[in-house]
């Protein structure tokens, strides 16, 4: 079992290149199943969740090769429509193959994703919406067994709750459905816009007709293309917080600053100096960190995937802060570990009250989920001494070369087995 040793306290200084987005790559990889041709993808991050998705695609018959920094997915011989439990259970985004498989074969058997550390992760919104396209399904022994005897037929669908995955599954499924589909109350995360750009480049007919409404005219087939995936805005936000909490000076490169304007606004409010350039942002952390009340929300609100990271920063504020987690029902798993480092965070339901003026003490720690694990690194960077973080396989799911990137800007961090 690998672990990370972090020696604090260090101020981070220098440049960090942001990798491609895990959460844009996953739906785009699933959407390659719509094609019978070759798809070239650039800027896909080398992280474990991507490896899992590629293994899932191979299990469905896709040929996956990588050349230099390009992924080549060839689905000319892809014909299976069964996604097994042992692949989907480790990565809930596996459910994103349901839409494309139904679009291509009008039938599919896909494992239910199952719960995880941050919540039960139901897929009722996905299934209810797919049934509006003519899909009949039953749940049997942990699998969704779905089929559309007459093929998928376009329809008007309103999402009762904003869901990133359900929006992605339906956009992909409706792309090959007969007729027109109107989706309302869609999630509008930048990763979904990247998916729509990818699909339209393949010849799909998808238009945003208002803020959360999308119109899809089904097409018969899609063509061979090359697509470069957008930057990972959560990785970018994580390193912005790293600069703020270590009172460092970082230049975060290969990004589109406008996409993370909410995060930039919050960090400026907390006291950091931020200089915005074309494809990069320079952040200079401030000794005095203000306090704030933050609620997580669907884009363009404050992202739930940065909640653990900003919580660590708020422990350093001069006064108490409050965080309200409005997306997932159990996303405070990092609190217990932070309190073991000396934080004084009280949780009550989906609210956390964060005491300020905390000096973290180094400790041996346990990562619980992807974003919680990186919040432990942020705290350890400010603690005087050696911290050890166990179960870092959670971290490897979504952060490409994190030790290398942090070492390059002055962090004393190493991976030990």
Torsion of CA 234, 240, 244, 245, to 10 degrees: 40
| Three-class DSSP labels, the chain | CCEEEEEECCCCEEEEECCECHHHHHHHHHHHHHCCCEEEEECCCCCHHHHHHHHHHHHCCCEEEEECCEEEEECCCCCCCEECHHHHCCCHHHHHHHHHHHHHHCEEEEECCCCECCECCCCHHHHHHHHCCCCEEEEECCEEEEECCCCCECCEEECCCCCHHHHHHHHHHHCCCECEEEEECCCCCHHHHHHHHHHHHCCCEEEEEECCEEEEECCCCCCCEEEECCECHHHHHHHHHHHHHCCCEEEEECCCHHHHHHHHHHHHHCCCEEEECCCEEEEECCCCECCCEEEECCCCCECHHHHHHHHHHHCCECCCEEEECCCCCCCCHHHHHHHHCCCCEEEECCEEEECCCCCCCCCEEECCCHHHHHHHHHHHHHCCEEEEEECCHHHHCCCCCHHHHHHHCCCEEEEEC
Segment interacting with ligand EPZ (CB under 6 A) among 54-62, 134-142, 162-170, 357-365: 162-170
Q: Which of 165, 218, 248, 271 binds ligand EPZ (CB under 6 A)?
A: 165
Segment interacting with ligand EPZ (CB under 6 A) among 3-11, 119-127, 266-274, 308-316: 119-127
Spatial CA neighbour of 16 closest among 407, 412, 405, 415: 405
Q: Which of 121, 178, 268, 340 binds ligand EPZ (CB under 6 A)?
A: 121
Bridge partners for 83 per DSSP: 110
User: Which tokens in the block code for residue 199?
Assistant: 């699909």
Q: Name the burial class of residue 384, with classes exposed (0-12), middle (13-18) and buried (19+) by CB atoms within 10 angstroms of its CB.
A: exposed
Provide, rounded to whole angstroms, the least separation between the CB of residue 22 and ligand EPZ.
6
Q: Rule CB under 6 A: say whether 230 interacts with ligand EPZ.
A: no
Q: Which of 104, 233, 316, 371 binds ligand EPZ (CB under 6 A)?
A: 371
Q: Rule CB under 6 A: say whether 394 interacts with ligand EPZ.
A: no
Segment interacting with ligand EPZ (CB under 6 A) among 124-132, 217-225, 317-325, 343-351: 124-132
Q: Which of 133, 327, 333, 411 binds ligand EPZ (CB under 6 A)?
A: 327
Kindly list the strands in the beta sheet with 38-42, ordered across the sheet, starting from the edge strand earlier in the chain: 63-67, 70-74, 38-42, 225-228
CA distance 80 to 107: 10
Per the annotation, the verdict on 315 as an active-site residue is no
x/- mask, ligand EPZ, residues 47-86, rule CB under 6 A, reads ----------------------------------------
Segment interacting with ligand EPZ (CB under 6 A) among 76-84, 161-169, 197-205, 266-274: 161-169
Q: Rule CB under 6 A: say whether 164 interacts with ligand EPZ.
A: yes
Q: Which of 48, 104, 126, 394 binds ligand EPZ (CB under 6 A)?
A: 126
Give me the catalytic one of 116, 186, 204, 315. 116
Q: Rule CB under 6 A: say whether 193 interacts with ligand EPZ.
A: no
Q: Rule CB under 6 A: say whether 233 interacts with ligand EPZ.
A: no
Provide, rounded to whole angstroms, the least separation between the CB of residue 308 and ligand EPZ.
9
Provide, rounded to whole angstroms, the least separation between the CB of residue 247 and ligand EPZ.
27
Provide, rounded to whole angstroms, the least separation between the CB of residue 37 and ligand EPZ.
25
Q: Rule CB under 6 A: say whether 373 interacts with ligand EPZ.
A: no
Ranges of H-type helices in 287-332: 307-314
Question: Measured from the CB atom, is 8 or 398 closer to ligand EPZ?
Answer: 398
Q: Rule CB under 6 A: say whether 304 interacts with ligand EPZ.
A: yes
Q: Which of 23, 175, 238, 373 binds ligand EPZ (CB under 6 A)?
A: 23
- With CB under 6 A as the rule, give the number of residues binding ligand EPZ: 24
Question: Measured from the CB atom, is 118 or 244 closer to ligand EPZ?
Answer: 118
Provide, rounded to whole angstroms, the least separation between the CB of residue 169 and ligand EPZ.
9
Q: Which of 44, 83, 108, 123 binds ligand EPZ (CB under 6 A)?
A: 123
Q: Which of 6, 12, 26, 196 binds ligand EPZ (CB under 6 A)?
A: 26
Q: Rule CB under 6 A: say whether 224 interacts with ligand EPZ.
A: no
Spatial CA neighbour of 14 closest among 282, 236, 250: 250
x/- mask, ligand EPZ, residues 82-111, rule CB under 6 A, reads ----------xx------------------
**Catalytic residues, which ones?**
116
Contact residues toward ligand EPZ (CB under 6 A) are: 23, 26, 92-93, 119, 121-126, 161, 163-166, 187, 304-305, 327-328, 370-371, 398
């Amino acid at each position: 079992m690998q672990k990370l040793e972090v020696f604090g306290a260090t101020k981070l200084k220098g440049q960090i290149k942001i990798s491609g987005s895990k959460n844009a790559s996953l739906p785009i990889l699933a959407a390659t199943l719509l094609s019978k041709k070759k798809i070239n993808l650039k800027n896909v991050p080398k992280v474990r969740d991507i490896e899992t998705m590629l293994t899932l695609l191979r299990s469905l018959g896709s040929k996956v090769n990588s050349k230099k920094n390009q992924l080549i997915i060839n689905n000319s011989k892809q014909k299976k429509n069964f996604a097994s439990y042992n692949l989907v259970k480790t990565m809930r985004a596996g459910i994103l193959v349901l839409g494309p498989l139904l679009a291509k074969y009008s039938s599919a058997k896909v494992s239910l994703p199952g719960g995880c550390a941050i919540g039960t992760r139901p897929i009722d919104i996905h299934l209810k919406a797919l049934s509006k396209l003519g899909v009949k399904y039953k749940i049997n022994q942990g699998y969704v067994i779905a089929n559309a005897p007459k093929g998928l037929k376009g329809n008007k669908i309103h999402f009762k709750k904003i869901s990133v995955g359900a929006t992605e599954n339906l956009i992909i499924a409706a792309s090959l459905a007969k007729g027109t589909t109107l989706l309302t109350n869609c999630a509008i995360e930048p990763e979904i816009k990247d998916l729509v750009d990818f699909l339209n480049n393949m010849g799909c007919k998808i238009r945003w007709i208002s803020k959360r409404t999308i119109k899809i005219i089904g097409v018969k087939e899609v063509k061979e293309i090359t697509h470069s995936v957008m930057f990972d805005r959560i990785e970018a936000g994580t390193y912005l917080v790293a600069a703020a909490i270590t009172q460092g000076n970082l230049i975060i490169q290969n990004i589109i600053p406008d996409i993370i304007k909410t995060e930039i606004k919050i960090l400026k409010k907390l006291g950091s100096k931020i200089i915005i350039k074309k494809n990069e942002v320079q952040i200079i952390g401030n000794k005095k960190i203000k306090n704030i009340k933050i609620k997580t929300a669907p884009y363009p609100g404050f992202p739930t995937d940065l909640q653990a990271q900003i919580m660590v920063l708020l422990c350093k504020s001069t006064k108490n802060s409050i965080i309200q987690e409005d997306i997932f029902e159990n996303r405070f798993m990092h609190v217990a570990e932070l309190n073991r480092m000396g934080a004084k965070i009280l949780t009550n339901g989906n609210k956390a009250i964060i005491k300020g003026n905390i000096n973290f003490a180094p400790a041996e720690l346990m990562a619980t989920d992807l974003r919680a694990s990186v919040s432990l690194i942020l705290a350890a960077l400010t603690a005087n001494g050696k911290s050890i973080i166990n179960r870092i396989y959670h971290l490897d799911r979504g952060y490409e070369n994190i030790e290398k990137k942090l070492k390059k800007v002055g962090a004393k961090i190493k991976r030990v087995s």
